Structure 1
Amino acid sequence: MAVPAFSADYTIMAPANPGGGWDQTARSMQEALQAEGISGNVQVTNVGGAGGTIGLAQFVNQETGNPSALIVGGYVMVGAILTNQSPVTLANVTPIARLTGEAVAVVVPAASDIQTMDDLVAKLKANPGAVAWAGGSAGGADHITAGLIAKAVGVDPTQVNYIAYAGGGEALAALLGNQVTVGISGISEFASQIETGELRLLAVSSDERVPGVDGPTLMEAGVDVALQNWRMIAAAPGITDEQKAAISSDIEKMAKSATWQSILASKGWVDTYLAGDAFDAQLAADIAATEAILKDIGLVQ
């Protein structure tokens, strides 16, 4: 008896609270996979906490061998695994592809007396502890960028007063409530508040200016730092080679689709699609480099 071919159903875990970059990535994937007819039904689940390591552990423990289960991860998770000494790592999942890159934005509330990156650097040099940075989880791209900025301007990176929030929405609330000095997170998480003038953009962490974003790079602002936060998708451990190939094919179709490309443009995400052996090699290199940076800024012994 012939079995009709149906597109695969997927459940994508965003290992973070709603509103942040991983949640936006998972929901954007849901939109593109369904709009392009690649998948008939895509669900998104949120499991927040500890830079994605709580969700990662749950995913590995509950989804082994399940070809319909996917998880979003990236630079932040690499850092969180190291800083939290997580027993579950990316070696426990099946990496499929790197999807996007995004510059980290440094912002202050509109009412702040900090007008430029120079002003922020002056405050940082005067008293590092008095500058409270609000960003995503400890050891992630935001935290690393703050540490690298301090180091670049001659401030001890271990003195950075960094307050980690579980999601972009919470860091934003702290900023708008004037509970912190400066915010540091992906551009997409601050974009609408920068546009409305509630937040002032001081600089972005990319090596080139971000199209459509009115703000200098850290390099242009005299701070020798360039960093891109990247995001990836992985499948469950214990799937067959055939199942991995089928998932990889679906993700490649999605990444090259018109729907996905328009989502990237609207969010200011860079298309950094990389899959297969090339991605596995890049992931290993990124993990090693992140560990070195985290040791440098005192987050990992």
Structure 2
Amino acid sequence: MRRDTFLKSLAALAATGALPLPAFAAANLKIMIPSNPGGGWDTTARTLGKVMMESGSASTVTYDNKGGAAGALGLAQFVNGSKGDGNALMVMGAVMLGGLITGKPPVSLSQATPIARLTSEYNVFVLPANSPFKSMKEVIEQLKKDPGSVKWGGGSRGSTEHIAAAMIAREVGVDPAKINYVAFRGGGEATAAILGGNVTVGGSGYSEFAEYISTGKMKALAVTSEARLKAVNVPTLKEQGIDVVLGNWRGIYGAPGISPAQREALTAMVLKAVKSKSWMEACEKNGWTPAVLTGPAFDKFVDDDFASLRATMVKTGMI
């Protein structure tokens, strides 16, 4: 039997449960992280890889960071360099969808293979510790006086924090096209800019700012959730009279052109990992809400979120 035929047979058996998963899944996985080190995708990918090794889903995991263009550069490298590779994965999420809408790159997410949505998370807006502002109310007052004087720092153009900033502007009567949004290639760069006082307000998932909030290096102003989060007792935007609610999510994709059996096997490997105690502990630590979705339901979710984000961007004048 040819080696590729043998592997496909093992994949099919593993996916149906006829073969114990570790017998097939003792693979050398490669995870593409389409951002620079230090951000939410980076943390998600490395946490997932660690848990997959601990759970026996993978024997080794290597990582490749490729930041830029809201993940489009990493997506292009992944799509062009991993066709048919059943051991290749890429972390992604709502930020990538927004970036693909605004950037219109020559590569499409539909070229890769959906595996699973992993987590949901809301954004938190923060001030550097030495900021002259003390509250979101003061920031909004300045925004109304001079929109360009308020620098919003966060992920790439089209990220959830960028969309949230535009939504906030619109809600308080400021032209969203006038907001001064400073995009960074990764969470690490954005964090450094906020800590250095190079932006007025910073936005990202709570997990990226948690240690700085707890040590007083950043002051949390508001969260984009419907209700206050357990992990951080900060008022929502809605509580402060700004009717903006916007969630973020992160997921994982497989390579283009993999077989249905390979997709099923990768899905089983990921599910085995995210059901583990280690993954649940990581979610608790990082303020992630488990939001696992696979198969056709995940495919539909991505399509629907694309449409929803596009509609929001049109409404706020971003596109």
TM over 0.5: yes
Aligned to 2:13: none
Shift of 1:154: 1.3
Superposed CA RMSD: 1.5
Aligned to 2:37: 18
Aligned to 1:29: 48
Measure, in 1, the Cα distance between the counterparts of 2:317 and 2:114: 28
Q: 1:46-125 maps to which residues of 2 (within 5 A)?
A: 46-125=65-144
Q: 1:188-207 maps to which residues of 2 (within 5 A)?
A: 188-207=207-226
Measure, in 2, the Cα distance between the counterparts of 1:188 and 1:176: 16
Measure, in 2, the Cα distance between the counterparts of 1:239 and 1:60: 11
Structure 2 segments unaligned to the other structure (5+ residues) = 11-21
Aligned to 2:23: 5
Verify the 8 A CA contact 2:176 2:318 in the aligned structure 1.
Answer: no
Residue among 293, 304, 307 paired with 1:285: 304
Verify the 8 A CA contact 2:78 2:90 in the aligned structure 1.
Answer: yes
The 3-state SS of whatever aligns with 1:61 is helix
Letter matched to residue 153 of structure 1: V
Aligned to 2:162: 143
Q: Where has structure 1 moved over 6 Å in runs of 4 or more?
A: 1-4
Measure, in 2, the Cα distance between the counterparts of 1:200 and 1:5: 49
Letter matched to residue 272 of structure 2: K
The 3-state SS of whatever aligns with 1:220 is helix
Measure, in 2, the Cα distance between the counterparts of 1:116 and 1:287: 33
Letter matched to residue 92 of structure 2: G
Letter matched to residue 35 of structure 1: E
Shift of 1:144: 0.5
Between 1:17-26 and 1:247-256, the stretch displaced more is: 247-256
| Percent identity of equivalent pairs | 47
Letter matched to residue 102 of structure 2: T
Between 1:206-215 and 1:20-29, the stretch displaced more is: 206-215
Residue among 171, 174, 179 paired with 2:190: 171
Shift of 1:214: 2.3
Shift of 1:45: 1.1
Instruction: Give CA deviations for 1:123-160 in whole Å, capped at 9, x if unaligned.
Output: 11111111001100001111001111111111111111
Aligned to 1:154: 173
Shift of 1:9: 2.4
The 3-state SS of whatever aligns with 1:112 is coil
Residue among 153, 157, 171 paired with 1:134: 153
Letter matched to residue 185 of structure 2: A
Measure, in 1, the Cα distance between the counterparts of 2:32 and 2:156: 17
Structure 1 segments unaligned to the other structure (5+ residues) = none
Instruction: Give CA deviations for 1:11-63 in whole Å, capped at 9, x if unaligned.
Output: 11110000001101100111110111111111111011111000101100010
Which one has a larger percent helix, Structure 1 or Structure 2? 2
The 3-state SS of whatever aligns with 2:317 is coil
Verify: 1:250 aligned to 2:243, yes or no: no
Measure, in 2, the Cα distance between the counterparts of 1:255 and 1:240: 23
Letter matched to residue 62 of structure 2: Q
Shift of 1:225: 0.6
Shift of 1:255: 1.5
Larger Rg: 2
Measure, in 2, the Cα distance between the counterparts of 1:297 and 1:170: 26
Shift of 1:299: 2.6
Measure, in 2, the Cα distance between the counterparts of 1:5 and 1:252: 16
The 3-state SS of whatever aligns with 1:223 is coil
Letter matched to residue 271 of structure 1: P
Instruction: Give CA deviations for 1:57-95 in whole Å, capped at 9, x if unaligned.
Output: 110001010000000111010011111111212111101
Letter matched to residue 255 of structure 1: V
The 3-state SS of whatever aligns with 1:298 is coil
